[in-house]
Structure 1
Amino acid sequence: MTVHPTALVSPKAIIGKNVSIGAYSIIHDNVEIGENTIIGPYCELGVTNHLSEGEKLSIGPDSHIRSRCTFYEGSKFGNNLITGHSVTVREKTSAGKNFQIGTLSDIQGHCSIGDYVRTHSNVHIGQHSRVGNFVWIFPYVVLTNDPHPPSEIMQGVTIMDFAVIATMSVILPGAKISEGVFIGAQSCIGGETEADSFYAGSPAKKIGPASKIKLKDGIGEPAYPWRIHFKRGYPAEIIEQWNREQL
């Protein structure tokens, strides 16, 4: 373990092998960090409050948390977590492996997130959101949860596998974004969607099958399902599985 002289690391924290902790970072008691993880400067991990119910913050191995990130206790992340800068993650968030959180993004807690989820910068994920596997969420997207704010009622958003939410879209409380759905930029959408479809507008309406959107590469092949043509950043075994599905 490599700890910068200005960092504060609780002796009660469980720190794996080959972990690096940057300048002025604070690691509280109820934290477990997996091996080969990098914690940047000015981070705070394991912030306590009554909502965490004393549960541990667990960061999986081979992760990279960049500067000025804040994680509350009571959350669990799989291996290869990667963040941008100034990310906030509240309590009771569970995420699978290879989760990427963009700079200035905010996860409000009590959320479930699958494997290989990618969120870009300035994404807000409201409480009780449920996000599947291989989901893409682009900048300035907001997942809401209060059907008539302010109230004590929370209806979290559900986003299924392989869905894509484009820039500056708002997903309304209780909405279900089905598998393979593409939500166009600056859309506002509620209710339940049909799988592998394209929605756009405010309020968003179904435009048609997502497969009708063509790549702007001169060839004009379908852009969706995106895993037919986009493989970057995914392991060989996942790509092989996708290739078999297309046969």
Structure 2
Amino acid sequence: MKTLIHPTAVIHPHAELHPTVQVGAYAVIGDNVRIDADTVIGAHVVLEGPCEIGVGNQIFPGAAIGMQPQDLKYVGEPTWVKIGDNNFIREYVTINRATGRGEATTIGNGNLLMAYVHVGHNCIIEDGVIIANSVALAGHVHIESRARLSGVLGVHQFVHIGTMSMIGGMTRIDRDVAPYMLVEGNPSRVRSLNLVGLKRSGMPTNNFQTLKKAFRILYHSDLLFQQAVQELETLGNTEELEHLRRFLLLSQMSGRRGLIPGKGKNKELE
């Protein structure tokens, strides 16, 4: 322990650190923080509990994790930050606890959060997500696995961002981003499929071609939204297509923010 924890680090006696955890100079680890094996805590990192951090994470200097939410509804109830395994959390990232007794802000596995990313209360980030520098997520944002967010953009509260989508830099995200799509601009629009990401994903060629047909139906046809979603049923039954259909229907029915529209003939979502 003495060889892995810098002598200037301040660690609460009730914090639980696996013997393989490394802690850098002037880090502060508070009560009710639990850190699993092979995680590295950089210099000047601040961790407040309740907070759980999994195996093999690297948390770089200046990050602040587990602070109380920036939410006036929060009145001190016990809430959490829960972080999975093998994440890279770069310099000066902030991750706030949730609002609502027993609720958690959750980060999955294998994510990269670059410098100055802010993750607001009650956010969910699944697995394999990359968020570039200076991105701000408001409360209750849900990002599905393998999404990509470019730098210097903001995401409105209660927005849902679909799997394997790509968001261009400095984009304003105030509505849901459908899976597999490339979104960019202010106001933001669906520009195309995330072609590069889908090709790199190893998706079978037939499934990829099916998504291309789905994109043309949704964003370049004269069909109304409900008609377009129903038309997707004629394309077959791939895993990706079913997920896209469920996402679109849930976004419309849930009373959330609605969907970011495209640029094509179908203007119903604008």
Residue number in structure 2 paired with 1:46: 48
Cα RMSD for the two superposed structures? 2.0
Matches within 5 A, 1:1-12: 1=1, 2-12=4-14
Does residue 87 (structure 1) correspond to residue 93 (structure 2)? The answer is: yes
TM-score by length of 2: 0.65
The answer to whether the Cα contact below 8 Å between 2:27 and 2:45 also exists between their aligned partners in 1 is yes
Give 1:161's aligned residue: 163
TM-aligned CA distance change 1:205 to 1:97, over 3 Å: closer
| Identical positions, percent | 22
Q: Which residue of 1 aligns with 2:257?
A: none
Question: C-alpha distance in 2, partners of 1:204/1:58?
Answer: 35
- Structure 2 residue runs without a partner (length 5+): 68-79, 99-104, 210-270
- Per-residue Cα deviation, 1:107-138 (whole angstroms, up to 9, x for no partner): 11111111111101101000011111101011
Which residue of 1 is the match for residue 116 of structure 2? 104
| 8 Å CA contact 1:44, 1:70 repeated in 2 | yes
1:142 pairs with 2:157: no
User: Is the 8 Å Cα contact of residues 198 and 208 (structure 2) preserved in structure 1?
Assistant: no
Cα distance change on mapping 1:205 and 1:243 into 2, 3 Å: closer
- SS of structure 2 residue aligned to 1:85: coil
Q: Structure 2: which amino acid aligns with 1:167?
A: G
Q: Is the 8 A contact 2:62 2:91 kept in 1?
A: yes
Q: Which residue is 1:66 aligned to?
A: 60
Q: Report the CA distance between 1:181 and its aligned residue.
A: 1.1
CA distance in 1, matches of 2:182, 2:190: 10
Number of residue equivalences: 188
| Runs ≥4 residues deviating over 4 A | 243-247
| Amino acid aligned to 2:182 | F
Mapping of residues 192-203 of structure 1, within 5 Å: 203=187
1:15 and 2:17 correspond: yes
Which residue of structure 2 lines up, in the alignment, with residue 177 of structure 1?
A: 177
